Amino acid sequence: MKRGYKNLKALVFNTYGGPEVLEYHEIMDPIIGPDQILVRMKAIGLNFADIYRRKGNYHLAGKPPYILGYEGAGIVEKVGAEVQGISLGDRIAFADVPFANAELVAVPYEKLIPLPELVSFEQAASILLQGLTAHYLTSDSYAVKNNDVILVHAAAGGVGQLLVQIVKLLGGRVIGLTSSLEKVEVIKKAGADFVALYKDDWKQKVLEVTNGKGVDIVYESVGSTLMDSFAVTRIGGTVVFYGMSGGDPVPVDPRMLMDASKTLTGGDLWNVLTSMEERITRSNELFRWIEEGKLKVSEPTTFALKEGQEAHRYLESRKSTGKILLIP
């Protein structure tokens, strides 16, 4: 992406490290290509991927200063010569466009998602990455059916709360797992039928709740608990692995899968969002659920974009139960 005149503010960093490496200062405006639009940002989603990139765990192309952020919503300020059907002032959102931690962002036409009037910028920036993840996990990785009994790890997290709600929407029953008593009510409010704490003998509790049978499906995002997840999955059940916030999983012996007729499947959002049509179709279902009151987006914690250091510290503290947004 080319840069133009220096007059907009962004959250940048020049070296990898802790939140203290983030700086808020002027950079050059992005110059859009013929197939791009320029968006004035109203809300920007903060995700753990931003922390991994800041630390250097994820590879970053190009040279510093680097700009984090991939998710957000705003208003169209300029339209490329080859873009049709988009006008100045239109409300749009995106889930996978780089350099989002800035007042202005160049968005490729194929990545934009039109935003309905009844969905706020804050809701869109809160739900797209996590909501689209929960959407494909419940439709593609495993198609949730009526009366399925499903265990959701880290159920108080952003994806976790949305998984609980979508599973209930699709007719399933949910057992949520979390780390603290404070988060139990959050998960119950999302609609979980039962909640267990990691510090307790949660495997025994899950088996008790399922009368010794085990659950049909586990949404596994912790990693280090993978074998525990298999232990509470019924014969013929499925473990959907999509994250490892608690550390790497151990290798899985395929003979175990064979002996218990269990399935291990994985999921990655970028294998699903392969076209503009996929982005819009899936996002529109999320937006429709929000408009109909079937999907509740918990109130986000907001920080000014210039308070990026504080926002990163708060996310890393794992004290948050909902989305964290940066507001330019």
Q: Which residue has the higher pLDDT, 65 or 218?
A: 218
Question: Which residue do the tokens 């990163």 mark?
Answer: 312
pLDDT confidence band for 52 (50 / 70 / 90): confident
Query: What is the structure's pLDDT at 252?
Result: 94
Mean pLDDT, residues 92-113: 96
Query: What is the structure's pLDDT at 6?
Result: 55
* pLDDT tens digits, one per residue of 110-124: 999 999 999 999 999
E strands of the chain, at which residues?
2-13, 23-31, 36-46, 66-67, 71-79, 91-94, 104-108, 113-114, 149-152, 173-178, 194-197, 215-220, 233-241, 263-266, 301-304, 324-327
Task: State the Cα–Cα distance between residues 262 and 309, nearest whole angstrom.
Answer: 44
Q: For residue 165, give the amino acid letter.
A: Q
pLDDT confidence band for 3 (50 / 70 / 90): very low
**Residue 122 per-residue DSSP state:** H
Mean pLDDT, residues 197-208: 96
* pLDDT tens digits, one per residue of 135-177: 999 999 999 999 999 999 999 988 999 999 999 999 999 999 9
Task: State the Cα–Cα distance between residues 138 and 203, nearest whole angstrom.
Answer: 23
Mean pLDDT, residues 81-88: 94
Mean pLDDT, residues 195-209: 96
* pLDDT tens digits, one per residue of 236-282: 999 999 988 888 899 999 999 999 999 999 988 989 999 999 999 99
pLDDT surpasses 80 at 1: no
Mean pLDDT estimate for the chain: 93
Q: Is 45 exposed, middle or buried (0-12, 13-18, 19+ CB in 10 A)?
A: buried
- The set of residues, in sequence order, having a beta carbon less than 8 Å from that of 283 and lying 6+ positions away, is 93, 95, 113, 128, 131, 132
Q: Which residue has the higher pLDDT, 185 or 318?
A: 185
Query: What is the structure's pLDDT at 143?
Result: 96
For the range 190-193, what are the long-range contacts, defined as Cβ-Cβ under 8 Å and sequence gap of 24 or more? 190/155, 190/161, 190/164, 190/165, 190/296, 191/164, 191/165, 192/152, 192/155, 192/164
Contact between residue 317 and residue 310 where contact means Cβ atoms under 8 Å apart:
no
Closest by CA to 216, choosing from 235, 201, 197, is 235
Query: What is the structure's pLDDT at 44?
Result: 98
Closest by CA to 97, choosing from 89, 87, 108, is 108
Length of the chain: 328
Q: Which domains does the chain have, with CATH numbers?
A: 2-127+273-327 (3.90.180.10), 146-266 (3.40.50.720)
Mean pLDDT, residues 221-237: 96
Kindly report the number of other CB atoms within 10 A of residue 151's CB atom. Answer: 27
Query: What is the structure's pLDDT at 42?
Result: 98
Task: State the Cα–Cα distance between residues 60 and 271, nearest whole angstrom.
Answer: 20
pLDDT surpasses 60 at 2: no
